[in-house]
Amino acid sequence: MKISIILAHPDPASLNHAIARTAEAGLRANGHDVILHDLYAERFDPILNASEISETVPVPPEIERYGAEISSADGIVIVHPNWWGQPPAILKGWIDRVLRPGVAYRFLDEDTGEGIPIGLLKAKAAVIFNTANTPSERERNVFGDPLQQIWGNCIFELCGIKEFHREIFTVVVTSSPEQRREWLDHVREIMDQYFPRRL
């Protein structure tokens, strides 16, 4: 399988980076082709300009490449911290620019844009790893955990991906080295579960 990992955290020493590297190692050990995009290291430009909005316009070559890659991925893994119930801006920009009409979804011909789009991504599963400093209960009860809707309903379901798993590691700021090691072991288990070794 061809798996894309998208990582959005500014600190290479972060738990997010460790999660992405652990996922990558597990996927490679299972025999998959893996591309890991560290959006900060790649200096991804998150600004969607007006000239790029229409489905039919040409887009910059790097956006073409990101789009071609996500279109052909058999699996998608996304790693980011929960910042204000949302992804960091750099990842929001990846969503805005890469998950374009014609790449990630399209409208039916008779539709004028307000209707129900058809998902175009062919990945069999998408896995999200989030880190947070809010206890899970407070995230659900006080904040409503918008990332669950964002990734599950607004993005992956709309883009045609049926299987979706989200794992939240929290509270990071007060976590022990043992806790972090357990979390990374769990990352490996989830990779084995969703993207097992081919027989």
Which residues of the shown chain bind a copy of itself in the complex (CB under 8 A)? 10-11, 40, 46-50, 53, 83-90, 92-93, 95-96, 99, 112-114, 116, 133-135, 138, 142-147, 149-150, 153-155, 171, 173-174
Nearer to a copy of itself, 99 or 161 (CB): 99
Supply the minimum distance, in Å, between the C-beta of residue 193 and a copy of itself: 26
Nearest to 125 by CA among 98, 92, 159: 159
Nearer to a copy of itself, 153 or 193 (CB): 153
The number of beta carbons lying within 10 Å of the beta carbon of residue 198 is 8
Supply the minimum distance, in Å, between the C-beta of residue 40 and a copy of itself: 8
Nearer to a copy of itself, 138 or 181 (CB): 138
Question: Phi/psi at 113 (nearest 5 deg)?
Answer: 110, -10
Nearer to a copy of itself, 5 or 90 (CB): 90
Nearer to a copy of itself, 26 or 67 (CB): 67
Nearest to 44 by CA among 84, 92, 109, 106: 92
Supply the minimum distance, in Å, between the C-beta of residue 125 and a copy of itself: 20
Supply the minimum distance, in Å, between the C-beta of residue 68 and a copy of itself: 20
Supply the minimum distance, in Å, between the C-beta of residue 105 and a copy of itself: 11
Q: How far is CA 33 from CA 5, 80, 140, in A?
A: 11, 21, 35
Distance CA 152, CA 157 (A): 6
**Alpha helices per DSSP H over the chain:** 15-29, 61-72, 89-98, 136-138, 146-149, 177-194
